[in-house]
Amino acid sequence: MADLAAVKAALSAQRIETPSWGYGNSGTRFRVFPQQGVPRDPFEKLADAAAVHAATGVAPLVSLHIPWDRVPDFGKLAAHAESLGVRIGAINSNTFQDEDYRIGSVCHPDPAVRRKATDHLLECVDVMDATGSRDLKLWFADGTNYPGQDDIVGRQDRLAEALSEVYARLGEHQRMVLEYKLFEPAFYTTDVPDWGTSYAHCLKLGPKAKVVVDTGHHAPGTNIEFIVAFLLREGKLGAFDFNSRFYADDDLMAGAADPFQLFRILHEVAKNGGLDPAHGVAFMLDQCHNIEAKIPAIIRSVMNVQEATAKALLVDLDALRAAQSAGDVLGANAVLMDAYNTDVRPLLAEVREEMGLSPDPLAAYRASGYADQILADRVGGTQAGWGA
């Protein structure tokens, strides 16, 4: 049996980071449906993140995206976060929205464009210095659309060169986390398409470089928990970008499409020490809320990650190991399914009450009056992220 006190302690200690861009307006390639009361600037995005943290108690970190969240004084933004009870999490770079990046950023054939892209990454490290952020999160839209368009190996060389320049700029307690994505916006080759490519670059760079697993960035049917287990074993799992997908990079609420997959991922995390803060795995959400209310959707996503984590922590590891070493296929599978099929909502309600919170974060948010307050206070919200 899992030790209940230890399970509760792990659940109250878990930290789930929310993305600034999840609070603003967003959309698809076809349409942005603006919502009333969305933040007009990064300060208001932090206020919304603080509302999520107030309701859940486990979301004190907020990822920023540069330039979407660029402000004249990042120290002031960090102080504002602190005054709201939250902190700045990962700094996400953006080398995909500038006209110069039509055929690439750090992998572009023109050294001047590569210089510009690398300078942006270095600027992101300056933002980390000013905000106290630990992680630089890199995702590159680089790739090619047509066979022969560019030299595959040449592009890897250029990528490695930019990464090593940025790596050398990191402070003692700063890290670089490199995200991969199967395809899109490039369709023929992608320069960091999979965990193996990210892992190979991170391994060469050194201990401060780790892989980000964005759950939406794989081919259908990919066994993501295998990747997670492998990276944890190698000490190279830096972070998650949690979201749910039905088709490609849908960025829907974590755990919405396949809560069983989220459980299987978190089982590998829990079993292999990934919940221990010493391991340094950041549990981030990377989602947008195009048609649903944003703050409640983020609260729901945090709760979904917590529920999957609780189920993972309930796996009877002694029984699992005994069944595995006895070659008891059905018995081992049953141990996992027993944990997955447990209703953990009462356990999480207890954990929240012990943390001095409402057992029901969504009800607490509704009762707080925050939704009405932002509707009244904010007129003309900004477009979050995509397209801004």
State in angstroms the smallest separation of the CB of 33 from ligand LRH: 18
Residues 6 or more apart in contact with residue 43 via CB below 8 angstroms? 71, 77, 80
State in angstroms the smallest separation of the CB of 192 from ligand LRH: 11
Task: Kindly tell me which of 17 and 241 has the beta carbon lying closer to Mn ion.
Answer: 241
State in angstroms the smallest separation of the CB of 178 from Mn ion: 11
State in angstroms the smallest separation of the CB of 181 from ligand LRH: 6
Binding site for ligand LRH (CB under 6 A): 21, 92, 139, 179, 181, 214, 241, 249, 286, 385
92 binds, among Mn ion, ligand LRH, none (CB under 5 to 8 A by kind): ligand LRH
Binding site for Mn ion (CB under 5 A): 214, 241, 249, 286
Task: Kindly tell me which of 263 and 386 has the beta carbon lying closer to ligand LRH.
Answer: 386
State in angstroms the smallest separation of the CB of 90 from Mn ion: 10
100 binds, among ligand LRH, Mn ion, none (CB under 5 to 8 A by kind): none
194 binds, among Mn ion, ligand LRH, none (CB under 5 to 8 A by kind): none
Task: Kindly tell me which of 20 and 306 has the beta carbon lying closer to ligand LRH.
Answer: 20
Residue number with the shortest CB distance to ligand LRH? 139
Residue number with the shortest CB distance to Mn ion? 241
